[in-house]
């Protein structure tokens, strides 16, 4: 397994463990306490900041904001009971399919 996959699995496990932490002691637990709608709002904020980093041409900032975006997306998936592996399986299902064809196949 790649270093990236190992790191994402460790992060996913940590996020699961933080569900039972006190919100006053864990940033992740405080996000869970606010609920999925607030977490989704945070994902949106991080997505905008990522796009702004692209617009500014600052690659270091893009890396940092991308990490924030991915982190908060993983928190949201965990809050919704969706494993990262489910997302990876969906990506694998789409592999080799034209993006135009894939979008056209959606109801």
Report pLDDT digits (tens) over 2-29: 898 899 999 999 999 999 999 999 999 9
Q: Please state, for a pLDDT cut of 70, what percent of the chain lies above it.
A: 99
Read off the pLDDT of residues 61-90 as tens digits, 9 standing for 90 and up: 999 999 999 999 999 999 999 999 999 999
What is the pTM (predicted TM-score) of this model?
0.87
Domains in the chain, ordered, with CATH?
A: 3-104 (1.10.287.1080)
**Mean per-residue pLDDT of the chain:** 94
State the pLDDT at residue 63.
98
Q: How confident is the model at residue 1 (pLDDT cuts 50, 70, 90)?
A: low
State the pLDDT at residue 98.
80
Residues 45-69, mean pLDDT to the nearest whole number: 98
Helices 59-79 and 36-56 cross at an angle (nearest 10°) of 160
Q: Write the CA distances from 60 to 1, 38, 69, 70, 104, integer angstroms.
A: 27, 27, 14, 16, 36
CA distance 26 to 31: 9
């Amino acid at each position: 397994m790649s270093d990236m996959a190992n790191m994402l699995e460790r992060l996913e496990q940590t996020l699961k463990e933080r569900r039972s932490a006190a919100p006053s002691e864990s940033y992740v637990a405080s996000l869970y306490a606010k609920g999925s709608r607030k977490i989704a709002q945070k994902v949106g904020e991080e997505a905008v900041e990522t796009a702004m980093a692209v617009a500014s041409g600052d690659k270091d900032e893009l890396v940092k904001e991308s990490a924030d975006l991915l982190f908060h997306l993983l928190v949201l998936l965990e809050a919704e009971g969706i494993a990262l592996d489910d997302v990876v399986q969906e990506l694998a299902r789409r592999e080799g399919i034209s993006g135009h064809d894939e979008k056209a196949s959606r109801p």
